[in-house]
């Protein structure tokens, strides 16, 4: 996996620096997209500006993908570093669950084809209330 990371940087004429390696390792060890500020916190020995520059470069090179929730960008590794997936996000607690579903992928491809659209990439975010938070909500009473 690191070999792919390094070859992408080299092929783009970029150096393999300690800050870039640290940011990549941080993203590799998490199971959910992170706010860019959280990535900076998790790499305390790296200058914050270097973290943000690395993230900008990684997105440009396809190493990471960024999704926006509200006004906040969240970053995670892209394919081939992480299998293709989508997210379910709880509106109450903010929990993010990754979902991978072949049927969903087939439907999205079918929709694109029906519109004579060449699908290059896509993201799907489902927003709602998770099972744990739903259990905490008051239940309607029968009248």
Where is the binding site for Zn(2+), in residues? 90, 93, 130, 133
CA atoms within 13 A on the CB side of 97: 13
Q: Which residue has the tokens 């259990």?
A: 135
Task: Provide the β-strand partners of residue 128.
Answer: 90
**3-class DSSP assignment, residue 104:** helix
Which DSSP helix (H) or strand (E) runs through 72? strand 72-77
For the annotated binding site for Fe cation, the residues are 84, 105, 122
CA atoms within 13 A on the CB side of 105: 10
Which DSSP helix (H) or strand (E) runs through 11? helix 2-11
Task: Provide the β-strand partners of residue 11.
Answer: none
For the annotated binding site, the residues are 84, 90, 93, 105, 122, 130, 133
Residue 87 CB neighbour total at 10 angstroms: 19
């Amino acid at each position: 996996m690191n070999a792919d990371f390094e070859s992408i940087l080299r092929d783009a004429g970029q150096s393999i620096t300690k800050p870039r390696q640290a940011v990549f390792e941080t993203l590799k060890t998490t199971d959910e997209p992170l706010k860019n500020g959280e990535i900076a916190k998790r790499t305390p020995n790296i200058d914050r500006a270097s973290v943000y520059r690395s993230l900008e470069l990684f997105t440009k090179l396809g190493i990471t993908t960024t999704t926006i929730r509200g006004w906040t960008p969240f970053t995670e590794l892209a394919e081939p570093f992480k299998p293709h997936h989508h997210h379910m996000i709880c509106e109450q607690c903010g929990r993010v669950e990754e979902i991978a579903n072949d049927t969903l992928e087939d439907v999205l491809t079918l929709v694109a084809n029906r519109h004579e659209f060449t699908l290059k990439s896509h993201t799907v975010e489902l927003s709602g209330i998770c099972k744990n938070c739903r259990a905490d909500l008051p239940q309607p009473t029968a009248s």
